[in-house]
Amino acid sequence: MEYVPILVLVLSFVCLLAIGTPVAWSIAMSSFLTLLVSIPFLPAATTVSQRIGTGLDSFALLAIPLFILSGELMNKGGIAHRLIAFAKTLVGALPGGLALINIISAMLMGAIAGSAMAAASAMGSILGPEMEKEGYSREFGAAVNITAATTGLVIPPSNVLIVYSLASGGASIAALFLAGYIPGILTGLFLMIVASVWAKKKGYKVGKRSRLKKVFKTFIDALPSLFMLIVVIGGIVTGIFTATEASAIAVLYSFLLGLFYREISLPKMPRILLDSSTTTAIVMLLIGASMSMSWALSYENIPQEISTGLLALSDNPIVILLVINLLLLFVGIFMDMTPAVLIFTPIFLPVVTALGLDSVHFGIIMVLNLCIGLCTPPVGSVLFVGVGIAKTSIEKVVKPLLPLFIAMVIALFLVTYFPELSLWLPRQFGL
């Protein structure tokens, strides 16, 4: 009987997804069916609905809609153009210059906006046509854009790291934010190396070297956007304000910056508020449904059984981390990042902490791992956005995507087995 809840949970979730049920409803309904194994219909239904509501009752979660609104303001506020111009002066003359510009701009845009989809949308629509005009294949441009967009989910401020903090039961958001910098930049560098080698092999055009005066001018233009990172992260790390308060400051700053750039006006605000509200509703429903599944998992003692099984498999941290990474890579193919973090953190975190791993380090491993899932079908949201903007197909993008995908996996395993890549910065600040 002890394996029945696990079987019900997995089979019902997979079947619901297979028939096209939205992810959030698949999670909630499979949680309900799992509880029916142990308790009657009415208490099971009441518990799931109650957990969806109480799962959202958290002050820390208030940061997510505010960061989403901030990202929407940044996306519409002319930030992308200025970041691209700055990146162009830095790496435009290197092999695969436009691809490198895409990666650096996506890293900056993703970090500022906190959204991989916003970064993929902005960079794809602006740089995609320009890359094609310069002789780059449409599929290569889409592949670069898709993989680069995910780096902003590791480089703070990141909504997913806030979700992980909630799921882990108290990992410091400030420590997680600082821990994301080196892994995020490392992943970006690996993508740049692969893109440069691919571009050189294909003989794509190389741009002209920019003069120092132009580098300085584009830097000054982009500086107000980049300064937001200092304000938000600096305030959180120094303890001046919490992550939730920082998200409100980010909204105000991005709004004023959009007005300063004359890219945002009051008549545009209703559309911006509506778009951010739509995104917030989707994310919050996913979080609420995932919290109900987490409770169902705990009630049926599934995390403890999985933990016992993994620890019985081996007590070697290298082996356990390898197994967890492979499982998360598989999970990322079928599940969106937010529910995956909420559901699998309570399952895997006790295992890794029993082996002496830091919860902050594991948070970066998990988020970096699930970023790869955003680039893979059938649920990879960033993959579909990137392919849609490039007006191409997934089948055509697979070939140039594969080496970039491998670069991300190599970065993941380096971060997994070299904890200092994640923990060095937080330790410098005593976190």
Instruction: pLDDT tens for the chain, 431 residues: list them.
Output: 467 888 888 888 888 888 888 878 888 898 899 888 888 899 889 998 988 888 788 777 788 888 888 877 877 777 767 877 787 787 767 777 788 888 887 887 766 666 677 677 767 777 778 778 778 888 888 888 889 888 888 888 778 888 899 888 878 888 998 999 999 999 999 999 998 888 888 777 766 777 788 888 888 888 887 787 788 878 887 878 887 888 888 888 888 888 888 888 888 889 888 988 887 888 788 888 888 888 888 787 777 777 777 778 777 888 889 999 998 888 888 777 888 888 888 889 988 888 888 999 999 999 999 988 888 876 677 887 788 888 888 788 888 889 999 999 999 999 999 999 999 999 988 87
Closest by CA to 337, choosing from 128, 76, 143, 114, is: 114
Distance of alpha carbon 243 from alpha carbon 237, whole angstroms: 9
Q: How far apart are the first and last CA of the chain?
A: 44
Side chain identity at residue 26, one-letter code = S
Predicted confidence at residue 425, as pLDDT, reads 92
Domain residue ranges of the chain, discontinuous segments joined by +:
1-54, 55-428
Predicted confidence at residue 2, as pLDDT, reads 62
Predicted confidence at residue 52, as pLDDT, reads 87
For residue 141, how many C-alpha atoms fall within 13 Å in the half-sphere facing its CB? 25
Q: Is residue 193 within 8 Å of 411, Cβ to Cβ?
A: no
Predicted confidence at residue 113, as pLDDT, reads 60
Predicted confidence at residue 379, as pLDDT, reads 65
Predicted confidence at residue 114, as pLDDT, reads 61
For residue 217, how many C-alpha atoms fall within 13 Å in the half-sphere facing its CB? 8
**Radius of gyration of the chain, Cα coordinates, nearest whole angstrom:** 22
Q: Is the dihedral of CA 143, 229, 362, 338 positive or negative?
A: negative
Predicted confidence at residue 413, as pLDDT, reads 94
Distance of alpha carbon 403 from alpha carbon 407, whole angstroms: 6
- Residue 136 C-alpha from the chain's centroid: 27
Q: Is residue 60 within 8 Å of 243, Cβ to Cβ?
A: yes
pTM score = 0.82
Predicted confidence at residue 1, as pLDDT, reads 47
Predicted confidence at residue 112, as pLDDT, reads 64
**What tokens does 311 get?**
């620890």
Predicted confidence at residue 188, as pLDDT, reads 92
- DSSP string of 48-72? HHHHHHHTT--TGGGHHHHHHHHHH
Distance of alpha carbon 194 from alpha carbon 404, whole angstroms: 6
Q: Is the dihedral of CA 21, 25, 26, 30 positive or negative?
A: negative
